[in-house]
Amino acid sequence: MTLAERLPGHPFIAYKNGTLHVEAAALPELAREHGTPLFIYSKQWMLEALAAYQRGFEGRDALICYAIKANSALGVLRIFAEAGCGFDIVSGGELARVLAAGADPAKVIFSGVGKTKHEMRQALAAGIACFNVESEAEIDVLNAVALDEGRQAAISVRINPNVDPKTHPYISTGLKGNKFGIAHDRALAIYRHAASLKGLRVVGIDCHIGSQITEAAPYLEALERVLDLVEAIEKAGIALHHLDFGGGLGIDYNGDTPPAADALWRRLLERLDARGFGQRRLVVEPGRSLVGNAGVCVTEVLYTKPGEAKNFCIVDAAMNDLPRPAMYQAFHRIVPVTPRRGEAVSYDVVGPVCESGDWLGRDRALDVKAGDLLAVLSAGAYSMAMASNYNTRGRAAELLVSGDRVTLIRRRESIEDQLRSEQFEG
């Protein structure tokens, strides 16, 4: 790869004159002004990723709901709200975020296995589009809450189709052993029960089989199983207004080749058309595929530490900033912001946190010295959204880049921010 080439999977992140840029912004300048670790997102990348879904659904009755758990920064949410998206949320806090970002509550879907009564009331009061319910117990509780509030809750039942998404077990959600959804063979009985409750209005069916899916086959298999259920449910006299096929489409972390969103949906729509469901309202809930490759985490090299078994490149970003490698053994490409011309050495790239699990990359060939900047790629999803204050580390700043315009969308967290909500006994 020459320095002028764009990095794989990152059409708006490229080397220019020997320095890595996000769109027109040079990363060393941003690091000098805002410090490190630092998350930087390309607005244009997000809009291009969204456009692939919009092309795939052109001419169809479809609602694209961004799954905000991937990246819940208000500045990111505002982009998708202004683009006409709905939102997929999994907590009352996420509901408050999307409303603060200007979302239309009538385009909000509430997923998740553990909704509290307070969250249900919060969502009913806001006037959300639909609850994706995930258990028989939740159906009964939501019915009671809705009746108590003098409202009727629109629901879609999340089905667990027992389809292997061929992904990491921690982000697989559609197998029998997962905590999500209602078993396929219990679905018809559950729908009959839900339809009998006065506090509920059955409007759809939902299926989400996992995350970072890089093949079309699991989607096609799940689609067929869901459509079989739709036919059985509607034969029982329960009409379904919409079909929700979740999200989970993967991105290119390390030469991964997931289908493009528009290509994937062309294939799925062919099957929907063939089975007579092509004109039904469709809902999808992409997250990672809209933001993952739009982001980088810039980190400074603190020390290089040679060892007998390993060489370590110690940086100022850590597992509290970017948890995916520690949680999932996930791979992120790590590249120099301003490449040197010397001989590369194999390093484990690790952070300052007091855990052996605090690593960002294993066995990476790098030519680096203390003070250099590295960019951890594909850091737009499940990074800052899962960040913590472990070791009393402040969470990083976040920047949004649009062309040559740079906006600070989250300031760096100070120690005062962390201590503000605590107090001593008495």
Going 51 to 57 to 63 to 67, the CA torsion angle's sign is negative
CA–CA separation, 99 vs 74, rounded Å? 10
Distant-in-sequence, close-in-space partners of 15: CB < 8 Å, separation ≥ 6: 3, 4, 5, 21, 339
Look up tokens 């809902």; give the residue. 283
Question: How far is 189 from 104, CA to CA, in rounded Å?
Answer: 33
Can you say whether residue 37 is alpha, beta or left, with left for phi > 0 and alpha for psi between -120 and 50 degrees?
Answer: beta
Q: In 287-420, which ranges are E strands?
A: 295-305, 312-315, 334-336, 345-350, 359-366, 373-376, 397-402, 405-410
Burial profile 388-408: b = 16 or more Cβ within 10 angstroms, e = fewer: eeeeebbbbbbbbbbeeebee
Q: Where are the alpha helices (DSSP H) in 200-260?
A: 217-235
Give which of 183, 231, 239 is closest to 207, Cα–Cα.
Answer: 183
- Asked if 325 and 289 count as a contact pair (C-beta separation under 8 A), the reply is no
What b/e string do you get for 10-41 counting C-beta neighbours within 10 Å, with b at 16 or more? bebbbbeeebbbbbebbbeebbeebebbbbbb
Examine the residue annotation and report whether 85 is marked as an active-site residue of this protein: no
DSSP annotation of 106 reads G
Which among 421, 420, 401, 418 is positioned nearest to 409, based on CA atoms? 401
In the chain, what's the furthest Cα-to-Cα distance? 71
Q: Return d(Cα 394, Cα 398) in angstroms, integer.
A: 12
CA pseudo-torsion sign 408, 413, 416, 419: positive
Rounded CA gap, 373 and 18, in Å?
13
- The sign one gets for the Cα dihedral 14, 16, 20, 24 is negative
Is there a contact between 382 and 332 (Cβ–Cβ < 8 Å)?
no
- What amino acid positions are annotated as catalytic residues? 354
